[in-house]
Amino acid sequence: MEQEPQKKAADTAVPKPPAKPDDGKDNPNAANEPEQVIRPEDEALVVERLRELGYIE
Amino acid sequence: MQSKPNIILISADSLRANHLGCYGYTLPTSPNIDKFAGEGALFEKVFAPGIPTQPSHTTIFTGQHPVTHGVVAHGGKAKLARGTPFLPEILLEEGYTTCAVDTLFRERIWFGRGWEYIIDPSLHHLFYASVTQEELNDRAIHWMKTVQKSPFFMFIHFWDVHYPYTPPDRMRGMFYKGGNPTDPDNHELDEWWDHPVGAMARDTWLRTPNGLITDPNYVTALYDREIRYLDEGIAALNDALEKLGIAENTMVVLLADHGESMTDHRVYYDHYGLHDCCVQVPTIIKWPAGIAKAGTRFAPFRQLFDIAPTLLEAAGSELPEDLDGKSFLPQLTGKEEASGYDQVVGCESTWQAKYYLRTDRYKFILARYPDLLGNPDRELFDLQADPGEDHNIAAEEPEVVAELEAKLEAFVADKMEAAGRTEDPVTKEGPVAVEIWEQHRG
pLDDT in tens, B43-56: 999 999 999 999 99
Shared domain for B59 and B116, answered yes or no, is: yes
Shared domain for B123 and B225, answered yes or no, is: yes
pLDDT for the residue A27: 63
From the list B130, B337, B432, the residue facing A43 with the nearest CB is B130
Report the CATH number at residue B426: 3.30.1120.10
Contact between B300 and B45 under an 8 Å Cβ cutoff? The reply is yes
Report the CATH number at residue B319: 3.40.720.10
Contact between B86 and B114 under an 8 Å Cβ cutoff? The reply is yes
pLDDT in tens, A35-50: 888 888 999 999 998 8
Whether B172 is covered by a domain: the verdict is: yes
From B204's Cα to the closest Cα of chain A, the distance in A is: 5
Cα nearest neighbour of A36 on chain B? B208
Residue at a domain's end among B301, B332, B363: B332
Residue at a domain's end among B332, B353, B386: B332
Shared domain for B355 and B268, answered yes or no, is: no
Shared domain for B15 and B97, answered yes or no, is: yes
Domain extent at residue B69: 6-332
Shared domain for B281 and B136, answered yes or no, is: yes
Shared domain for B144 and B46, answered yes or no, is: yes
Shared domain for B355 and B400, answered yes or no, is: yes
Interface contact A1-B407, CB threshold 8 A: yes
pLDDT for the residue B2: 61
Instruction: Compute, in degrees rounded to 10, the torsion defined by CA atoms B241, B247, B250, B251.
Output: 100
Query: CB distance from A11 to chain B under 8 Å?
Result: yes
pLDDT for the residue B4: 95
* Overall number of domains in chain B: 2
Q: Distances from the Cα of B186 to the Cαs of B72, B203, B351, in angstroms?
A: 37, 17, 27
pLDDT for the residue B441: 76
Interface contact A50-B200, CB threshold 8 A: yes
From the list A1, A8, A23, the residue facing B175 with the nearest CB is A23
Indicate whether A21 pLDDT > 60: no
Phi, psi of B173 (to 5 degrees): 100, -20
Whether B150 is covered by a domain: the verdict is: yes
From A26's Cα to the closest Cα of chain B, the distance in A is: 8
Cα nearest neighbour of A1 on chain B? B411
Shared domain for B153 and B206, answered yes or no, is: yes
Whether B337 is covered by a domain: the verdict is: no
Interface contact A46-B200, CB threshold 8 A: yes
From the list A3, A10, A15, the residue facing B338 with the nearest CB is A10
Shared domain for B307 and B373, answered yes or no, is: no
Whether B338 is covered by a domain: the verdict is: no
pLDDT for the residue B85: 98
A with B: how many residue pairs have Cβ under 8 Å apart? Answer: 185
Q: Which residues of chain B have pLDDT under 50?
A: none
Interface contact B75-A15, CB threshold 8 A: no
Shared domain for B317 and B401, answered yes or no, is: no
Cα nearest neighbour of B332 on chain A? A10
Whether B104 is covered by a domain: the verdict is: yes
3-state DSSP assignment of residue A3: coil
From A39's Cα to the closest Cα of chain B, the distance in A is: 8
Q: Which of B172, B228, B332 should be substituted to probe chain A, the one whose Cβ sees the most A Cβ atoms within 10 Å?
A: B172
Residue at a domain's end among B290, B311, B332: B332
| Chain B environment of A45 (Cβ under 8 Å) | 200, 203-204
pLDDT for the residue B148: 76
From the list B209, B228, B436, the residue facing A53 with the nearest CB is B436
Shared domain for B124 and B227, answered yes or no, is: yes
Contact between B224 and B174 under an 8 Å Cβ cutoff? The reply is yes
- What whole-number distance in Å separates Cα of residue B7 and Cα of residue B96? 9
Shared domain for B45 and B115, answered yes or no, is: yes
Contact between B358 and B338 under an 8 Å Cβ cutoff? The reply is no
Whether B1 is covered by a domain: the verdict is: no
pTM: 0.94
pLDDT for the residue A18: 47
Q: What does DSSP assign to residue A55?
A: S
Q: Is B223 exposed, middle or buried (0-12, 13-18, 19+ CB in 10 A)?
A: buried
pLDDT for the residue A28: 66
Report strand pairing: B250-255 vs B280-286.
Answer: antiparallel
- What whole-number distance in Å separates Cα of residue B104 and Cα of residue B91? 19
Half-sphere exposure of B342 (CA within 13 A, CB side): 9
Report angle CA A50, B379, B381 to the nearest 5 degrees. 110
| Chain A environment of B345 (Cβ under 8 Å) | 3
Indicate whether A13 pLDDT > 70: no
Indicate whether A2 pLDDT > 60: no
Query: CB distance from A51 to chain B under 8 Å?
Result: no
pLDDT for the residue B147: 83
Q: Which of A4, A8, A56 should be substituted to probe chain B, the one whose Cβ sees the most B Cβ atoms within 10 Å?
A: A8
Cα nearest neighbour of B173 on chain A? A30
